[in-house]
Structure 1
Amino acid sequence: MEADALAKMHAQEANHWWFVARRRIIARILRHAKLPGQARILEAGCGTGGNLEMLTRFGEVKAFELEDGARQVATNLGRAQEILPGRLPDEVPVACEQFDAVVAFDVLEHIEDGQGAIKTLTERVKPGGVFCLAVPAFMSMWSYHDTWNHHFRRYEAPVMPSRLQAAGLVPECYTYFNTALFPLIALIRRLKNQQAKPGDDLAPPPAPVNMLLKQLIGSESWFMPRVRFPFGLSLLVLARRPLNVSGSKAA
């Protein structure tokens, strides 16, 4: 990816309502996880580093990223202890059972072997630690957005517990989010499916609209984790690795 495209991507992650609201919601769920002080955190697929500052509030962060240019942008931010090259599900550059939290935000949908990726990341979680992921929701919402972003699937809440349990995790909470805009965006994507251009979904709206949407979607965090939203554009999951796990594997 070219340098100017990477710069635009990072600017979007910093300011676009979707990314800002998502970070607010994720931070709420991570607070619920009750991580230890100065927790060790691994972010899988950190992109240009838009989540790193938020994650450092909870502890010491390492990350890995496949794309060289994005990895360099994230490294230059200076917010992570280390950002390594890596690829899911088979080239994860850290040892097993090293982290209090492993997180992956809008990553699994890009991996053909999504279940293999969940298993690999679970192995990096310490017994008693947590795995937190966000993924796009509802195959019925499949559109040009997914095709352009090279997604293999979207996810639905009823199937997630069994997938997590198969990897050795105990689900603690899961909910859809970006619920308030779900009907509108579903309609827009259906209408634009043939005419839309790449990047349309993340084109920044006017500043007042951007601010309003940050507050609207971010306010969903107030209800979490007590309320499980029945639908939304994304699905957020927090699961824990049981304490009675023994033995670790080499990276």
Structure 2
Amino acid sequence: MTRLATGRRRCLACGAEQAIDDNEPVWPAGWRCPACAHVVAESAGIAALAPELADTVSGMDPSSFKLLAEVEDEHFWFVARNELLAGLAARFFPDARQFLEVGCGNGAVLRAIALSRSWRRLVGSELHPSGLAFARTRLPDVEFVQMDARHIPASAAFDLIGAFDVIEHIADDERVLGEIRRALVTGGGVIIAVPQHPWLWSRADEIAYHERRYRRGELEEKLQRSGFEVLFSTSYASLLLPMMIASRLRGRGTQTNEQVEREFTLDPRINGLFMAILRAEVRLTLAGLRWPAGGSRVVVGRAI
């Protein structure tokens, strides 16, 4: 069991910290620092901690959120992955009650996490307000914040943090992991998902503004350097890897943006078949099976 998070928010202007009360947001809109009087910007009723980067092509193209919002509730890859991530949170951190998702996008994973148990605090952060607009419609009672993942102004405020296909978009990924560690209580949990295998690099990675695909063991090493103990590590989408390899090799150097986007709009029969395959993989993973290769890597860690 992790100890209860009784954290502090930090002013991005002067570094001063203030205790967070249970009955207030971690980052209230319009918050004024008691030390330097810096006032946090506000956008559509939420705190904007990095307004200069909002909806810029930074890490990803904000226009992608609309396409993702249209497909991620039904697409096999997203649906099965949500079940895996919520299942790992339940397996390794059943007592966690204060959760932050870094880079929550449209809120699809956050909704799965929200439905998995009763939470004292749920927070979704995202650099781009265009993603938060969709997330807020899905989860009107959740706290959201516009934030740069390289600057998480909180200390020991959460007992579980997730970043799902986020840090591969950021050049200094270890800085993000260090910020996550500071925002967690000692003993708190982290779950990170990233694309895997540099040899799978394709036009799809370029369109997604990826900085890298991770080598096996790379994310684990970075987590350990950032103050985490690795509890579990596995590939995801392993059973469908041969089809992914064939698709990437076939389109390498020739794929257009439109061809990549068509991967999100499958024939319902194919989508249903792939869904069944990945859900079977997820059940085996949650039973403890670790897959050596796959399109993604998912790592579970504990703050030490």
* Same fold by TM-score greater than 0.5: yes
2:302 counterpart letter in structure 1:
R
Structure having the larger proportion of residues in helix? 1
| Contact 1:174–1:236 under 8 Å retained in 2 | yes
In 1: Cα distance, 2:221 partner to 2:243 partner: 31
Of residues 118, 141, 146 in structure 1, which corresponds to 2:205? Answer: 146
In 1: Cα distance, 2:294 partner to 2:130 partner: 32
**What's the CA shift for 1:16?**
0.9
- 1:90-101 correspondence runs (5 A): 90=151, 92=152, 94-101=153-160
Size of the aligned set, in residue pairs, is 239
Q: Does 1:215 align with 2:276?
A: yes
**Structure 1 residue aligned with 2:290:** 228
Of residues 244, 253, 258 in structure 2, which corresponds to 1:194? Answer: 253
**What's the CA shift for 1:197?**
2.2
**Structure 2 residue aligned with 1:177:** 236
| Contact 1:175–1:237 under 8 Å retained in 2 | yes
- 1:68-217 correspondence runs (5 A): 68-79=129-140, 81-90=142-151, 92=152, 94-198=153-257, 199-200=260-261, 202-217=263-278
Change (3 A) 1:196 1:105: same
**What's the CA shift for 1:207?**
1.1
1:120 counterpart letter in structure 2:
E
Relative to the length of structure 2, the TM-score reads: 0.74
Larger displacement relative to structure 2 (195-204 or 142-151)? 195-204
| Contact 2:161–2:180 under 8 Å retained in 1 | yes
What RMSD, in angstroms, separates the aligned Cα atoms of the two structures? Answer: 2.0
Partner deviation per Cα, 1:97-156 (whole Å, 9 max, x = no partner):
111110000001000101111111121111111000100001111111111111111112
Relative to the length of structure 1, the TM-score reads: 0.89
- Which SS does the other structure have where 2:108 is aligned? coil
**Structure 2 residue aligned with 1:14:** 73
Of residues 81, 86, 110 in structure 2, which corresponds to 1:52? Answer: 110
Structure of greater relative contact order (alpha carbons < 8 Å, 6+ residues apart): 1
- Which SS does the other structure have where 1:24 is aligned? helix
Structure ID, larger Rg = 2
Partner deviation per Cα, 1:49-89 (whole Å, 9 max, x = no partner):
11121111243420111111111121122255211000121
Change (3 A) 1:4 1:138: closer
| Contact 2:220–2:299 under 8 Å retained in 1 | no
Report sequence identity in percent: 24
In 2: Cα distance, 1:215 partner to 1:119 partner: 37
Larger displacement relative to structure 2 (125-134 or 231-240)? 125-134
Larger displacement relative to structure 2 (8-17 or 144-153)? 8-17
| Contact 1:178–1:234 under 8 Å retained in 2 | yes
- Which SS does the other structure have where 1:102 is aligned? strand
1:232 counterpart letter in structure 2:
G
| Contact 1:53–1:79 under 8 Å retained in 2 | no
1:168 counterpart letter in structure 2:
G
Partner deviation per Cα, 1:190-241 (whole Å, 9 max, x = no partner):
1112232224364321112111111111211222252211100000000001
In 2: Cα distance, 1:231 partner to 1:82 partner: 36
| Contact 2:62–2:130 under 8 Å retained in 1 | yes
| Contact 1:47–1:71 under 8 Å retained in 2 | yes
